[in-house]
Amino acid sequence: MTDESTSAKRSDSDEHATDVHEAAPGSVDKGVVDRPEPDQKPEPPAATWLPDAITTFASIVLALLVGAVLIALSDEAAVESLGYVFSYPQDFFYFAGQAIWDSYSSLVSGSVGSIDAIGITLVRAAPLICAGLGVTLAFRAGLFNIGAQGQLVVGALFAGYVGFTWDLPPGLHLVAAILAGMIGGALWGATAGFLKARTGAHEVITTIMLNYLATRFLLIYLLSKDAFQRPGSDNAQSPRPADSARFPEIGNVHLGVLVAIAAAIVVWWLIERSTFGFELRAVGANADAARTAGMSPARVYTMAMLLAGLLAGLAATMNVLGKGDSLSPGVAGSIGFDAITVALLGRATPLGTVLAGLLFGALSVGGTAMQASAGTPKELGDVLQALIVLFVAAPALVRGIIRLRAQGGGATVMAKGWGS
């Protein structure tokens, strides 16, 4: 090779290099790779939780707006003014606005308007938070746990029995009763998980049947037996738990509120930081891929439902050992079913579940105050809860109303559809 040809090739190479360096940013055909300038900082990643938070907040606002319309239509003066609304429209807006203001101000003052009201709201929210955390944990494994109600009932039976039959020193008695309630709920929840893991029985079917078995048979049957029957009473009612098995109280707030907050922290750590939490999320995202990676979906299903039942059993102790209620057919109320809506509103995250539990506790307490002060039907609080869940379950509708662009993200895995 001559010196002239070598020099010509070097010249072509230098020219090509010059073309590369002078190419416009973003050009692809010349193989140019865009690199940030030395002083250019990379853009921070977009917060994936922000669209969900905005949608949830908008759902609450929309529910309150629809609730305001219902309040106006339930007010007699406002409805009467509709008869001459075209002549004096100001009358309708005055009466409707007055009714809405009275109702919502009563709702706020009754739930968070004083120290006592805040205490009652926290006590009412504690079992919702615990049971909601159980539903959340099952959601993250791809399971739809409808059985929180039955797990609550069994947990209440275990905790109540230890509370009014065992004779232990204060403190130790409380711990024993709490553990008994958690064990009872865990056994009931693990039953559904085991059936799912070993036989493929859908958890929706099994938890519904277990709910029926616990509330319509087990509770009623046991309350008719001498071991659970209150002496001298013909009602289906047990003795009250001993004082040594009650949560300590400060004012009108008992220790169960702090237990519920601690449970939320533990569940957050379990889901986000532990090895089991990684397996839980992996199985919830794709069970087949998790199995290929060496995980055991059967074990995760069983453990997830066991822990969900354990949390529901802990929620049961809030009622039985917190308020000192005796066991009766209505001991669990509708906490187990409300917990599903709490978990849905909380987007299956521990923090969201805590906030949703507080909101639903406030709506429950405020609904009573709204009825007493403003004469608004107490059922309106239940309607507001249903509307919130309805809007949360239809994020595309809410985003369309507030014109929020749908974005990717949403790493939270909710329960899969029927037949999964």
Q: Buried (b) or exposed (e) across 332-343, using 16+ Cβ within 10 A?
A: beebbebbbbbb
* 156 vs 154: CA distance, rounded Å: 5
Give the whole-number percent of the chain exceeding pLDDT 90.
Answer: 44
Q: What is the mean pLDDT of the chain?
A: 83
Q: Is 333 left (phi over 0), alpha (psi -120 to 50) or beta?
A: left
Task: List pLDDT tens digits, range 295-336.
Answer: 999 999 999 999 999 999 999 999 899 877 789 888 888 899
pLDDT-derived band at 416, boundaries 50, 70, 90: low
Local structure of residue 35 (DSSP, 8 states): -
Q: Buried (b) or exposed (e) across 287-315, using 16+ Cβ within 10 A?
A: beebeeeebebbebbbbbbbbbbbbbbbb
Residue 275: both structure tokens together: 């090895």
Cα dihedral 287, 262, 386, 327 in deg (nearest 10): 100
pLDDT-derived band at 45, boundaries 50, 70, 90: low
pLDDT at position 280 over 90: yes
344: enclosing H helix or E strand: helix 335-345
Residue 227: both structure tokens together: 């071991």
Quick one: how far is CA 232 from the chain centroid? Answer: 41
Local structure of residue 417 (DSSP, 8 states): -
Task: List pLDDT tens digits, range 188-204.
Answer: 999 999 999 999 899 99
Task: List pLDDT tens digits, range 138-171.
Answer: 999 999 999 999 999 999 999 999 999 999 998 8
* 301 vs 284: CA distance, rounded Å: 9
Label residue 1 exposed, middle or buried (CB < 10 Å: 0-12, 13-18, 19+): exposed
**Per-residue confidence (pLDDT) for residue 54, from 0 to 100:** 82
* 125 vs 131: CA distance, rounded Å: 10
257: enclosing H helix or E strand: helix 256-272
For 196-246, strand residue ranges (E) read none
**Which phi and psi (to 5°) does residue 12 adopt?**
-65, -40
**Per-residue confidence (pLDDT) for residue 38, from 0 to 100:** 56
Helices (H), 82-229: 89-112, 115-140, 148-165, 172-199, 203-212, 219-223
Q: Which amino acid, 221?
A: Y
Task: List pLDDT tens digits, range 66-77.
Answer: 888 988 888 888
